[in-house]
Amino acid sequence: MGRTRGSALVLTLAIALAACGETAVPDDTSTPDTSEPGLFAIGQPLDIWTEIFTRGDGVDEAVTAFADSSANPTLFTDEDAWNQWLVTLPDTLKNKGNRFEVDFAADAVVAGAYPDCGATPAVIHHGGGGELEFLVGYDQEIVCEMTPTSLALFSVSLADVDVAADELTLRDVEV
């Protein structure tokens, strides 16, 4: 189930990114290593905001500020926390975030920023509980002269992790 779900996640992410045109998806995408027993890629990508593809609308600064903050990555398990974060964003991102129809009775959102040079972000579930981790896989064959920062948003179904929202935790890892 883990590898199939991970492959499906990468394929879904690649299709979504290609369709929205906000960031380029490398031909040879690599997923974070989920070969450790009990690790499963989980969640559906909502959007990816990349600083290099925007100009003059505050997105670059917002993505960079989130990446540099102690809140990176962040787990949102209720609508109040989500809305409090959205109001801090520039209008362009606030409007995008308000379009997502997140049902916090059934889902949580993971937001994570990362250096995006041939990167594939994912949310990993450490089976047997509510522990999640935001990980990024990199294509080692890509060399970037400049590496933009991206901010990925994933929706995670509480049914998929089989715990209540207040039982979810996010591993504190350096992205």
- Spans of all domains in the chain: 2-170
Annotate the chain with three-state secondary structure.
Answer: CHHHHHHHHHHHHHHHHHHHCCCCCCCCCCCCCCCCCCEEEECEEEEEEEHHHCCCCCHHHHHHHHHHCCCCCEEECCHHHHHHHHCCCCHHHHHHHHHCCCCCCCEEEEEEEEECCCEEEEEEEECCCCEEEEEEEECCCCCCCCCCEEEEEEEEEHHHHCCCHHHCEECCCCC
Tens digit of each residue's pLDDT (9 = 90 or more) over 119-170: 999 999 987 789 999 999 988 888 888 889 999 999 999 999 999 999 999 9
pTM beyond 0.85: no
pLDDT tens, per residue, the chain with 175 residues:
444 444 444 333 333 333 333 333 333 334 445 445 557 789 999 999 888 765 678 888 889 889 998 889 999 999 999 999 998 888 888 888 888 889 999 999 999 999 998 899 999 998 778 999 999 998 888 888 888 999 999 999 999 999 999 999 998 766 5
